């Protein structure tokens, strides 16, 4: 854009490079409306800003019939692909096309007619026919006497933003649908186990199986929000697994940070904690009126063999027969051992204190 710039520009010591970037259309608009000429340095800066900003800007004359554009800056030409002579003198509607929303266009017309400020996103079209989402900001410009002189429109291409927003929404919808289906699937599995147990006369066994399956379901449920990460927040899974054993949220206390682990470790951890909670309900802290449990999780420091460590501490258990709480079939021990972890139990007058650990797999931070 090496156009000549009129000599009437006040001398402000600007270098030539800045001058060559000046927009002659701004000068022409000013020449046609000499009464609006900005005086001194601020006028030059204004023209430079208009020419150099990447924000597309146009001015329309509300006093001419059909409110034609009287000025468009370089960014406007770049955004729309039209040359200056194809822009000036025309109403802005040449940017509209088949997918421009009628309701939005009505709002634009109304705002112009009523001299309102309006910010909308509208589908517009370039000269080559390609569509783009235009974040259009328009509003009236008044002179010093309060007389309407221009309608200013600024345009910004927000197609990328819209696409990113749509992607995000799509991912969220997908995660929710997945969560819904998974809950339904676990409900169906639960139903099958239940009625099989009932018709076979093994309701107790069926219930035990079902409780384990549902605990697994709750542990996995928390993974859906993070499905793209491949890891699970351990604390969320622990809370979800134990939630049904503390409906009022007063009996189990959770202490831990945002430690993450892989799915496989979380399923073993979830099931182990479920078994401990069932035992606490039968024999431990949850069987007494004011007993409670604290569950603390942390990453073990060893750099060569990082592990998730969980302290399960029961308080206020009823006295007597504490060893009953170990779980008669040893399933917790077997699950944790199979995952190359383990459990150590101790009892004191307050109840069971168990320490669980399970290796933290690589890449899980």
Partner 1 sequence: MTGILPSTGEPCRVLVLDDEPLILLDLEFAVEDAGCKPLTALDLVEALAIVQNNAISAAILDVSLGQGQTCEQVARTLAGMGIPYVLHTGDLDRMDEAVRSLGGTLVPKPTPAAVVVARALEPLAIRLD
Q: List contacts with partner 1 (CB under 8 A).
A: 176, 179-181, 183-184, 186-188, 190-192, 194-195, 198, 207, 210, 214, 217
What distance in Å separates the CA atoms of residue 153 and residue 142, rounded to the nearest whole number? 14
Cβ-based nearer residue to partner 1, 214 or 313: 214
C-alpha to C-alpha distances, 55 to 134, 135, 136, 229, nearest whole angstrom: 11, 11, 11, 37
The alpha carbon of 9 is separated from its chain's Cα centroid by a whole number of angstroms, namely 49
Cβ-based nearer residue to partner 1, 179 or 294: 179
Cβ-based nearer residue to partner 1, 42 or 184: 184
Cβ-based nearer residue to partner 1, 89 or 244: 244
Q: Are 281 and 325 in contact (CB under 8 A)?
A: no
| Min dist. Cβ of residue 247 to partner 1 (A) | 11
| Min dist. Cβ of residue 216 to partner 1 (A) | 11
What distance in Å separates the CA atoms of residue 291 and residue 318, rounded to the nearest whole number? 8
| Min dist. Cβ of residue 183 to partner 1 (A) | 4
Residue 138: CB atoms within 10 A of its CB come to 20
| Min dist. Cβ of residue 182 to partner 1 (A) | 8
Q: Which residue pairs, CB below 8 angstroms and at least 24 apart, start in 77-84?
A: 79/126, 79/132, 79/155, 79/157, 80/56, 80/124, 80/126, 80/127, 80/155, 81/126, 81/127, 81/128, 82/126, 82/127, 84/25
Cβ-based nearer residue to partner 1, 110 or 181: 181
Q: Are 310 and 297 in contact (CB under 8 A)?
A: yes
| Min dist. Cβ of residue 65 to partner 1 (A) | 48
226 CB-near residues (< 8 Å, 6+ apart): 232, 233
| Min dist. Cβ of residue 361 to partner 1 (A) | 28
Cβ-based nearer residue to partner 1, 18 or 185: 185
């Amino acid at each position: 854009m090496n156009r000549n710039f009129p000599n009437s520009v006040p001398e402000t010591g600007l270098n030539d490079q800045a001058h060559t970037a000046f927009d002659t259309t701004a000068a022409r608009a000013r020449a046609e409306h000499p009464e609006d000429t900005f005086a001194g340095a601020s006028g030059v800066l204004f023209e430079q800003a208009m020419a150099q900003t990447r924000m597309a800007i146009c001015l329309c004359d509300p006093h001419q019939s059909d409110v034609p554009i009287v000025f468009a800056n370089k960014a406007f030409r770049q955004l729309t692909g039209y040359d200056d002579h194809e822009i000036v003198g025309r109403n802005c509607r040449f940017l509209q096309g088949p997918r421009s929303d009628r309701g939005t266009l009505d709002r634009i017309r109304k705002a112009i007619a009523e001299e309102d400020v309006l910010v909308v996103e509208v589908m517009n079209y370039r000269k080559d026919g390609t569509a783009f989402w235009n974040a259009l900001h328009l509003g009236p410009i008044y002179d010093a006497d309060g007389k309407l002189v221009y309608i200013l429109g600024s345009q910004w291409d927000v197609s990328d933003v819209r696409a990113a927003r749509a992607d995000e929404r799509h991912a969220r919808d997908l995660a929710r649908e997945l969560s819904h289906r998974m809950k339904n699937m676990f409900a169906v599995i639960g139903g099958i186990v239940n009625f099989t147990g009932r018709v076979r006369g093994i309701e107790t066994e069926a219930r035990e199986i079902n409780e384990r399956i549902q605990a697994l379901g709750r542990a996995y449920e928390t993974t859906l929000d993070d499905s793209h990460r491949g890891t699970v927040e351990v604390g969320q899974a622990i809370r979800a697994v134990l939630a049904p054993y503390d409906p009022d949220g007063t009996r189990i206390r959770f202490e831990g940070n945002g430690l993450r682990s892989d799915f496989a470790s979380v399923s073993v951890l979830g099931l182990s904690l479920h078994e401990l909670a069932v035992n606490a309900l039968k024999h431990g802290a949850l069987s007494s009126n004011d007993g409670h449990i604290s569950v603390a999780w942390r990453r073990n420091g060893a750099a060569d063999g990082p592990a998730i460590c969980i302290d399960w501490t029961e308080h206020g258990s009823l006295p007597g027969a504490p060893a009953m709480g170990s779980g008669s079939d040893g399933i917790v021990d077997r699950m944790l051992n199979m995952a190359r972890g383990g459990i150590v139990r101790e009892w004191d007058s307050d109840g069971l204190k168990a320490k669980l650990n399970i290796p933290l797999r690589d890449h899980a931070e």
